[in-house]
Structure 1
Amino acid sequence: MNVVRQREVDYEMVEAKVPKIVVVGSLNMDIVVEAERAPVQGETILGERAHVIPGGKGANQAVAAARLEAETIMLGSVGKDDFGNQLIQSLQKEGINIDHLQTSSTHSTGIASILLSEHDNRIIVVPGANHQFKIDDEDVFRSVIASADLCLFQLEIPLSTVIRAVEIAKEENTEVILNPAPAQKLPDSLLQQIDYITPNQTELALLTNREKVDESDLFSAMEQLLTMGPKHVITTLGKDGVAYLTKNQVGKRISSHPVNVLDTTGAGDAFNAALAVAIAEGQEIDHAIRFANRVSALAVTKLGAQSGMPNRKEVDDFQ
């Protein structure tokens, strides 16, 4: 029996089922340092604050989806260490299913070193156990993916794992969102199986073999990526909002929401998770992107990628 609830979507009340999202991706412990500015090469400066916060693009997206009231399953890998235990506990507190999370006995939990300065961030990721994540029991993996309304992927785990997991998802008729970050080249065989791809401008440029993408060639680059296989190209533009293009449709722009920015670390993860939830609920693409825009705007007003993810009521109340 489908579970439904009343949900306000772009000012209209609709019946929306509780979506089931499987996130296949990374888990890191974020070591965040706040400073007035970034040091130049060879320079030492004094920071203002330091924090140790659960993170990783996959885990961030899982937390965001769970707070938006989706049934959420996390597939990934952590080390058998204190950071790994803390990450597991933080996901459990969010109500995320971690029954199939892997633990590596040979590699430590992934770490991200994040510098926050001048309303932006600089990030170095040491993948650790994330790069050991593989499909160890395909029958179990397949059953989990087959049970989902949508699978959400990023690229902080081995590309071979992403490729096979996407193949399984398409074999099971489960829709796929690929957040192609960190930026890297992707095979055509993978792109041809993607329902929704969500690059930023840097990632879009790399995927389309361009030095850069700016306003003058944004939709040209998106159209090129569309011809490579994905059904929808949704480009995040930071403070300039979102552009999207679907086959046989004119490209559209959607503005961002002006907010007081504290930490941009989880903005993209918030957007992707919200997009996944909205699509799995059955929202049209334009409404889904507007919903995701609201979620990402709220996320940057708080410190920490996971701790900054808004809950559903906050999003529904935000205009």
Structure 2
Amino acid sequence: MVGAVGADEFGPPLLKGMQADGIDISGVQVVEGQTTGVAVILVEQSKGENRILLNPGANYKLQPEDFLSTEALGTPKPDLIIMQLEIPLPTVLQILKTAKEADVDVLFNPAPAVELPLDVYGAITHLVVNESEAAILTGRKVGEVEEVGFDWNLVTDEFLRRGVKNIIVTLGSKGAFYSHEGKGKGAFVPAEKVEKVVDTTAAGDTWVGAYAVSIVRRMGDPDRFVREEDVRLACRAAGRTVEKKGAQSAIPWEDEVDRKI
């Protein structure tokens, strides 16, 4: 794990929790005089949908100069970097540059979405976006992509032309649409059946995590392209998450992901 927490009441428990799960936290800075990033999550009881208010805190102390070398990405060199946009954009762009120079694959989930320089897309191996993020990054109105029958090939093809190797659009309760370099038309994977949607918090994070696990487990494959099985696993994992309340506590273990409904 690479990141930053504050020297406050939230930082130490987070570090302790990660250590308990076997996560290497040597890349996590403890920043004096800063608060730990905190998200306040509001959940609609009737639907399980959520709204998130974020204070990035110490996360915004990660600067581009912290990531000028391959060693700054982790030692030994990582197989895959997973990144989002809850750290400063200039820092994200520097990490993408360093990763590309070091031939390190990047799984990028640009949330919260902002427009990106077109020349950075070539450094992204796996781009995972939801409907609204896909709309923002391609200059479309959210209402356009939410229309029944919208052709997601229009979006995935645009990202591929920009240099992305693999593109996945997560579609919430509907499933996900994916494509990759040289594939031609993309493909739709339906969402997994769930018993009851209790809380959608962390569903997207779970999706990305499960997808990353599937990708890393076959890093020796020469093509490095997304497969249907990767997307199905991620959809299944996210389906387990929405059946529980909470964020980290709702993320399933692998044996729970494989449970049949």
The TM-score with structure 1 as length reference comes to 0.73
What is the SS of the residue equivalent to 2:35? coil
Preserved CA contact (<8 Å) 2:83 2:107: yes
Q: What RMSD over aligned residues (CA atoms) do the two structures have, in Å?
A: 1.8
1:168-179 equivalences in 2 (<5 Å): 168-179=98-109
8 A contact 2:164–2:181 mirrored in 1: no
Structure 1 residue aligned with 2:3: 76
1:127 maps to 56
1:146–1:169: 8 Å Cα contact kept in structure 2? Answer: no
Structure 2 counterpart of 1:261? 197
Structure 1 residue 317 displacement after superposition: 3.5
Following superposition of structure 1 onto structure 2, how do residues 191-202 of structure 1 map, counting pairs within 5 Å?
Answer: 191-202=121-132
Q: Tell me the alpha carbon deviations over residues 75-132 of structure 1, each in whole angstroms, 9 at most, x when there is no partner.
A: 0011100111111111111111101201112321111111111320011101111111
Q: Deviations over 1:243-266 (max 9, x none)?
A: 011122221000001211111110
The 3 A distance-change label for structure 1 pair 105 and 187 is same
* Cα offset, 1:137, TM superposition: 6.6
The residue type paired with residue 31 of structure 2 is S
| Residues 1:136 and 2:72 are matched in the alignment | no
> Which residue of 1 is the match for residue 207 of structure 2?
271
User: SS in structure 2 opposite 1:198?
Assistant: strand
| Structure 1 residues 49-77: Cα deviation after superposition (integer angstroms, max 9, x where no partner) | xxxxxxxxxxxxxxxxxxxxxxxxx1001
Q: Normalized against structure 2, the TM-score is what?
A: 0.88
In 2: Cα distance, 1:140 partner to 1:227 partner? 27
* Preserved contact between residue 145 and residue 172 of structure 1 (Cα < 8 Å): no
Structure 1 200/137 Cα, relative in aligned 2: closer, same or farther at 3 Å?
Answer: closer
Shift in Å, 1:146: 5.5
Q: Percent identity?
A: 37
List, as ranges, runs of 4+ consecutive aligned residues in structure 1 with deviation greater than 4 Å.
137-140
Deviates most, 232-241 or 286-295: 286-295
Partner of 1:181: 111
Q: CA deviation at 1:233?
A: 1.1
1:295 Cα shift?
0.9
Measured in 1, the distance between the counterparts of 2:59 and 2:73 equals 22
Does the alignment pair 1:290 with 2:232?
yes
For structure 1, which runs of at least 5 residues remain unmatched after alignment? 1-73
Q: How many residues align?
A: 246
Q: Deviations over 1:214-264 (max 9, x none)?
A: 332422122112211211110000000000111222210000012111111
How many angstroms apart in 1 are the aligned matches of 2:73 and 2:99?
Answer: 10
Per the alignment, do residues 267 and 137 of structure 1 end up closer, same or farther by CA in structure 2, a change over 3 Å counting?
closer
Q: Secondary structure at the match of 2:248?
A: coil
For 1:191, give the aligned amino acid: Y
Q: Distance in 1 between matches of 2:248 and 2:2?
A: 17
Q: How does 1:172-251 map to 2 (within 5 A)?
A: 172-212=102-142, 213-214=145-146, 215-249=149-183, 250-251=185-186
Query: Relative contact order (C-alpha < 8 Å, sep 6+): which is higher?
Result: 1
Distance 2:118 2:3 in 1: 24
Cα 1:188/1:146, change in 2 over 3 Å: farther
**TM-fit CA distance, 1:272:** 0.5
